[in-house]
Structure 1
Amino acid sequence: MTDILVLVGSLRAASTNRQLAQAAVDLAPEGANLHLYEGHGALPLYNEDIDVEGQLPEAVVEYRAAVAAADAVLVVTPEHNGTIPANLKNAIDWSSRPFGGSSISGKPVAIIGTSFAQFGGVWAQNEARKAYGIAGARVIESTVLAVPNSMVRFAETHPKEDAEIVEQLRAFLAQFVSDLAALKNEEQAA
């Protein structure tokens, strides 16, 4: 069973990205367990002065442990002012430490999302890929999903009730799980 931690870049309860993430969880392909992580909103702003082993805030300990325990991370993010939300950037920063032994180091990460903008948050997804890559993650770019016009498209319909979105999510998840299996086979062969 492949364990995939799902991190939503929006903290808003009614976020269309949260809805998209829940649809992904509900559509998890056989052999994959997707689960939403809710605790990253409690992370303090990254500050090296409080990033001290043995004195870490509990939210940081729990978050790093959740990332470390997962086989992969799926990020579902909106676009805030042309980039990623502050809480997501903060989560990336916390997972990137300690340098050389971080919970995100070498971890496969894929990024999808939806936004009100006409390009579906492509800028935010690209920024997240860049930040995760620099943090040491293995960013999966073989398949993407960017849903535009979310506030209109999902005004009265949940993503899991939109046949086109369900089809796109299923295709994305199948490719992501296939990519994860290929990475695992590469590691075992090495």
Structure 2
Amino acid sequence: MSIKVLTLVGSLRNGSINRQLAETAATVAPEGTDVRIYDGLENIPFYNEDLDVEGSVPAAAAALREAAQEADAVLLVSPEYNGTTPAVLNNAIDWLSRPFGAGALNGMPAAVIGTSPSPYGAQWAHDDARKALGIAQAKVLEDAKLSIGARFEVFATTHPKDHAESAAEIAGVVSALAGAVELVNA
């Protein structure tokens, strides 16, 4: 059985270090685990219940929901914007949480990783993302989290997949997600 991890990246910037962390997750995933980075979050309209009507959900939001329904786990890779989670990730969680109690994240193992230039590594954003995922009824792995701080100078010249410590830390989170999926399916 292949485990599918849907990965949502909160930075839309070309060359984003958080995007590189997601790429690293795909590289270091354990055998049998497929980490898929979702592209297109910037195309999803802000959640509006008036738009969330069966048969007329915007195509971009429907595609995100479909990707989540095909996944076994979700990995959020988040920078920190003004002390919290980027709007693009909050919006994705909003779309994936509906209808409440039966949203695509319901019961799905979830983890949050990311980086920022500060020594705290986007911890506030990650705490907010874990809270939102929990309210959306995902099974948030509280012990599988990673806030990488103060490594931007290293990442300026080295992709995180080539930085042994970062790659190992990310591999640990992805392995924990895969393990959680196996427990759910046991």
TM-score by length of 1: 0.93
Question: In the alignment, what sits opposite 1:188?
Answer: none
1-structure distance, mates of 2:171, 2:105: 25
Correspondence 1:172-183 to 2 at 5 A: 172-183=173-184
2-structure distance, mates of 1:64, 1:43: 11
Question: In the alignment, what sits opposite 1:40?
Answer: 41
Query: Matched residue of 2:119: which SS?
Result: coil
- How many residues are aligned here? 185
CA gap 1:28/1:157 in 2 versus in 1, 3 angstroms: same
1-structure distance, mates of 2:14, 2:151: 15
Correspondence 1:1-190 to 2 at 5 A: 1-185=2-186
Alignment check: 8 A CA contact 2:110 2:177 kept: no
Aligned identity (percent) is 46
Once the two structures are TM-superposed, the CA of residue 156 in structure 1 deviates from its matched residue by: 1.2
Once the two structures are TM-superposed, the CA of residue 49 in structure 1 deviates from its matched residue by: 1.1
Query: Matched residue of 2:65: which SS?
Result: helix
* RMSD between superposed Cα atoms in Å: 1.2
- Counterpart of 1:118, as a letter, is P
Once the two structures are TM-superposed, the CA of residue 16 in structure 1 deviates from its matched residue by: 0.4
Alignment check: 8 A CA contact 1:105 1:137 kept: yes
- Counterpart of 1:131, as a letter, is A
Once the two structures are TM-superposed, the CA of residue 181 in structure 1 deviates from its matched residue by: 1.5
2-structure distance, mates of 1:19, 1:46: 27
Deviations 1:86-136 (A, max 9, x none): 110011101111123211111111111111111111111110000010111
More off after superposition, 150-159 vs 60-69: 150-159
Query: Matched residue of 1:30: which SS?
Result: coil
1-structure distance, mates of 2:111, 2:168: 18
Gaps of at least 5 residues in structure 2 are none
Once the two structures are TM-superposed, the CA of residue 170 in structure 1 deviates from its matched residue by: 2.1
Query: Matched residue of 1:143: which SS?
Result: strand
Between Structure 1 and Structure 2, which shows a larger proportion of strand residues?
A: 2
Deviations 1:5-61 (A, max 9, x none): 111111112110000100110111111111100122210011111111111110011
Alignment check: 8 A CA contact 2:110 2:139 kept: yes
TM-score by length of 2: 0.95
Gaps of at least 5 residues in structure 1 are 186-190
Instruction: Extract structure 1 runs of 4+ deviating beyond 4 A.
Output: none
Query: Matched residue of 1:173: which SS?
Result: helix
Once the two structures are TM-superposed, the CA of residue 158 in structure 1 deviates from its matched residue by: 0.8
Query: Matched residue of 1:142: which SS?
Result: strand
Alignment check: 8 A CA contact 1:16 1:150 kept: no
2-structure distance, mates of 1:171, 1:44: 33
More off after superposition, 31-40 vs 170-179: 170-179
Once the two structures are TM-superposed, the CA of residue 83 in structure 1 deviates from its matched residue by: 0.5
